[in-house]
Structure 1
C-alpha cells in the first residue's frame, strides 16, 4: 500500500476550488511558538493567501516556529503584524470572521461563511478584545459536546478553516 501523500493528492487534482474564494488565517497575540508553527502549516495546507500573527512585539525564536511549521516555514506567506496594521487591512474585500465564544456567536456548522474572509482566533488565554469582536462580520464558535469546553487554538483554527473550505467546495 502506497501512503505517499504528495502522490495521493496529485491524483486528486480535479477537486475544484473556486477562484472567487480566498482565506487569510490569523491569530491574535499568541504566546506559544508551537501554535504559530502549526498555524503556518495549516494555512499552507489550506492554500490560504497568508497567515497573520497580530502582536505588537514579536518575541519568538524562529527555530521554535520552524520546528512545527516544517517546510511551510519557508514556503508559506506569513508574518507578524501590529494591531494598527491589522486594522488597516480590514476592508470590504475581506470579511472578518472571528472564532470566539462570545455573545452573538453562532455555531460554525450552521453559518454560511464568507467567500473571502480573514479567519481570526484569539490568544490562548485571553481570546479576542471587545474592540475586535465588535468589528466582526461573522462571529462563530465550534460546538463541543464533550466535557472539555476548549480547543487548542491551532486545532480550533483547523476545524474552522476546513469548514470554510468545505462550504466553498460544496455546490
Structure 2
C-alpha cells in the first residue's frame, strides 16, 4: 500500500489544468495568521500563480504563518499588497471572481468560472467592501444547506479554488 503522497500525485500527470488556465488566490484584510498560512498552502497545492493578501499593514505573526504554511511558505509566490496596488492589478488578463454572500451572487456549482481568474474572499469578520464587490466580474457563493451558514475563509477559498480546478480539468 502506497502512503507517500508525493509519489502518488507525481504519477497523476494528467490532472494538471490546461496552460490557458491560471488562478491567483487573494484574501481581503485577514487578521488571522493561521488563515494566511492555510491559504498559502492551498495555493501551492493547487498550482496557483500567486497569493495576494490585501491589507494596510504587514503586522502579522510570521512564525504562525510559517508554521501553518509549512514548506509552502518558502516555495509559493505570495505577498502583501495595499488596496490601491490590488485594484491596479485588476485588468484584462484575469477576471475578478469574488466569493461573497452578496446581492447578485450565484451558486458556485452552477456558475462557469473564468479560465484566468483572481479568486478573492473577504475578511473573517467583515467580508468585502461594496466598492470591490462592484468591480467583480463574477460573484459566487458556496451553498450551505446545514445549520451553520458561514465558512472559515481558508475553507471557503479551498472549496472555490478546487471548484475552479474541477471546471478546468473535467469540463
TM-score, normalization: structure 2? 0.98
Taking the aligned partners of 1:107 and 1:12, their CA distance within structure 2 comes to 30
> Cα offset for 1:169?
0.5
Taking the aligned partners of 1:6 and 1:39, their CA distance within structure 2 comes to 20
- Secondary structure of 2:159's counterpart equals helix
Taking the aligned partners of 1:83 and 1:21, their CA distance within structure 2 comes to 25
> Cα offset for 1:16?
4.1
State the match for 1:132 in structure 2: 132
User: Is 1:165 matched up with 2:165?
Assistant: yes
User: Is 1:152 matched up with 2:158?
Assistant: no
> Cα offset for 1:73?
0.1
Taking the aligned partners of 1:142 and 1:103, their CA distance within structure 2 comes to 14
State the match for 1:88 in structure 2: 88
State the match for 2:11 in structure 1: 11
4+ aligned runs moved over 3 Å, structure 1: none
Q: Deviations over 1:128-167 (max 9, x none)?
A: 0000000000000000000000000000000000000000
TM-score, normalization: structure 1? 0.98
Of 99-108 and 5-14, deviating more is: 5-14
**Structure 1 runs not aligned, ≥5 long:** none
User: Is 1:105 matched up with 2:105?
Assistant: yes
- Secondary structure of 1:14's counterpart equals helix
Taking the aligned partners of 2:24 and 2:100, their CA distance within structure 1 comes to 17
| Residue-pair matches, total | 171
- Secondary structure of 2:149's counterpart equals coil
Taking the aligned partners of 1:78 and 1:16, their CA distance within structure 2 comes to 21
State the match for 1:77 in structure 2: 77
> Cα offset for 1:11?
1.1
